[in-house]
Amino acid sequence: MLNGEKIIIVLPAYNAEKTLMQTYEEIPKDIVDDIILVDDGSRDNTAEISKKLGIRTIIHPSNKGYGANQKTCYREALKKNPDIIIMLHPDYQYSPKLILAMASMISSGLYDVVLASRILGRGAIRGGMPLYKYISNRVLTMIENYMLGYKLTEYHTGYRAYSSEVLKNIPFTKNSDDFVFDNEILAQIIYFKYRIAEISCPTRYFPEASSINFSRSVKYGLGVLSTGLKFLIHKMKIKKVSIFVKD
């Protein structure tokens, strides 16, 4: 626990056998109460390694998609009644050493969500982020800040900490099962007026780190623009959009 608050780490995994151990070893076990890994139909030994490490492991028999993986992560984590849930990719692209700082920002009561931004600071390109991804990240973020009426340095990070109250109260299960889930959940958080903070995160791109290819990046980019339009349509009361409607 941290300041009396229970912390759960969720690891959405797909073919992470080469990096899972390294990621796990850097998680600060002194403050983390539980770790849950959801294996999304991996074709390697991710699940077996996870179990050997003593991680609570949930397996999707087939690949359901990155968004579907997160939905399982959050549903299972919420069953444990945590105060803070942190999503960390087990591909070692993001540093687990930031867990304490991110959890502290939420346990302080000042923020509801903390994003680890690869863009905040100057390390993205130095850390190996491909130039086309860096440029598209900056352009999409600029457009999203305008459409969503917010100001973030990055909407596309896969390293995020949430107060459990946020995940209990936004309809994240209505979101996409694909990569655009990350963008939709931030749009929901902004729509429902939760407080977001960012922390600078070193970037690590290497062969074993997961990354979507160019064609899927284009699809994701179009999905991001679509999310922004849906946000505006719903906010302006032109038409109700389900992902912004609580059940």
- The tens place of each residue's pLDDT in the chain, 247 residues long, gives 788 999 999 999 999 999 999 999 999 999 999 999 999 999 999 999 999 999 999 999 999 999 999 999 999 999 999 999 999 999 999 999 999 999 999 999 999 999 999 888 776 777 777 788 888 889 999 999 999 999 999 999 999 999 999 999 999 999 999 999 999 999 999 999 999 999 999 877 766 555 667 778 889 999 999 999 999 999 999 999 999 999 8
What is the pLDDT, as a whole number, of residue 128?
Answer: 74
Q: Is residue 2 part of a domain?
A: no
Q: Is residue 83 part of a domain?
A: yes
Please state at what angle helix 181-191 crosses helix 66-78, rounded to 10 degrees: 50
Q: Is residue 1 part of a domain?
A: no
Q: Exposed, middle or buried: residue 117 (CB in 10 Å: 0-12, 13-18, 19+)?
A: buried
Q: Is residue 235 part of a domain?
A: yes
Residues in the chain: 247
Please report, to the nearest 10 degrees, the dihedral formed by the alpha carbons of residues 56, 85, 27, 186 taken in order. 120
Per the structure, the complete domain to which residue 86 belongs is given by: 7-244
Q: Is residue 97 part of a domain?
A: yes
Number of domains in the chain: 1
Put simply, whether the predicted model's pTM sits higher than 0.75 gets the answer: yes
Q: What is the domain-level CATH number for residue 12?
A: 3.90.550.10
What is the pLDDT, as a whole number, of residue 206?
Answer: 63
Q: Is residue 81 part of a domain?
A: yes
Q: Is residue 163 part of a domain?
A: yes
Q: Is residue 110 part of a domain?
A: yes
Q: How many C-beta atoms lie closer than 10 Å to residue 205's C-beta?
A: 15
